[in-house]
């Protein structure tokens, strides 16, 4: 299982939210790039970066932070938040992100995302599936769509999409454990999906349980910044999964 630390950004600072509620934001670092350096020095190879300003404003905002991370580290960065046009997508790739997570736009402009899948390739795109009450939420998790999770995934996976970042919103930032049952259901339906679990990871035991469930990758952030996970201990246990 691939281990992917997360950096969420508001106004250029590293923050975390609870259940996607912007009113709950807590600042953990003034400079996310310094944290990215730290993750790289510990041995991590990949970083998940979320532009929360972008998700809320419906266009990419914190592009300068992304560019600094990709220029100053060798981390493989996947970036999400606010990618609502081809201009946004190209801007993010030009800034050095190797992968781009497409969330709301994959719901609202399916045909356009299908075109991007053909043009940019499956290895550069990640399907973002943010779930609340069994349905996909969009626009910074402020709106609930009519799309149910498995039918939503089905169309894209059949078209060649491989990477799926699935967040159970009710778990996000709660430090109460991930939605392992949900991830099992996804993998049972689509065993070849490169599923990335997100939300709720509170300790190393949660990561062990996800690994046992066969989840290919996990994103976690708040547990790091709240001191719930000892990263050196984690790396010693999962050295091959960085």
Give the residue numbers marked as catalytic: 8, 130
Instruction: Report how far residue 91's alpha carbon sits from residue 60's, in angstroms, rounded to the nearest whole number.
Output: 9
Instruction: Report how far residue 202's alpha carbon sits from residue 22's, in angstroms, rounded to the nearest whole number.
Output: 20
Tokens read off for 192: 């070849």
CA distances from 221 to 196, 199, 235 (A): 14, 9, 15
Task: Say what the alpha-carbon torsion angle 66, 68, 71, 74 is, to the nearest 10 degrees.
Answer: -70
Contact by Cβ (8 Å): 163, 99: yes
Residues 6+ apart with CB under 8 A from 88: 59, 60, 82
Residues 6+ apart with CB under 8 A from 8: 14, 15, 16, 17, 49, 50, 52, 221
């Amino acid at each position: 299982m691939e281990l992917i630390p997360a950096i969420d950004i508001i106004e250029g600072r590293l923050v975390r939210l609870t259940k996607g509620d912007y009113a709950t934001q807590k600042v953990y670092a003034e400079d996310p790039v310094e944290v990215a350096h730290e993750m790289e020095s510990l041995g991590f190879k990949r970083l998940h970066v979320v532009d929360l300003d972008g998700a809320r404003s419906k266009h990419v905002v914190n592009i300068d932070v992304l560019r600094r991370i990709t220029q100053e580290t060798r981390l493989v960065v996947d970036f999400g938040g606010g990618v609502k046009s081809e201009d946004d997508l190209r801007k993010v790739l030009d800034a050095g992100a190797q992968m781009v997570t497409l969330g709301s736009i994959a719901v609202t402009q399916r045909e356009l995302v299908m075109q991007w899948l053909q043009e940019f390739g499956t290895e550069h795109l990640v399907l973002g599936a943010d779930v609340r009450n069994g349905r996909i939420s969009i626009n910074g998790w402020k709106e609930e769509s009519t799309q149910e999770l498995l039918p939503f995934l089905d169309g894209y996976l059949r078209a060649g999409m491989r990477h799926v970042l699935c967040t159970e919103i009710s778990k996000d930032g709660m430090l109460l454990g991930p939605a392992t049952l949900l991830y099992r259901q996804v993998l049972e339906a689509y065993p070849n999906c490169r599923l990335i679990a997100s939300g709720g990871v509170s300790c190393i035991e949660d990561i062990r349980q996800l690994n046992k469930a066969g989840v290919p990758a996990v994103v976690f952030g708040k547990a790091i910044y709240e001191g719930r996970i000892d990263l050196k201990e984690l790396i010693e246990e999962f050295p091959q999964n960085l």
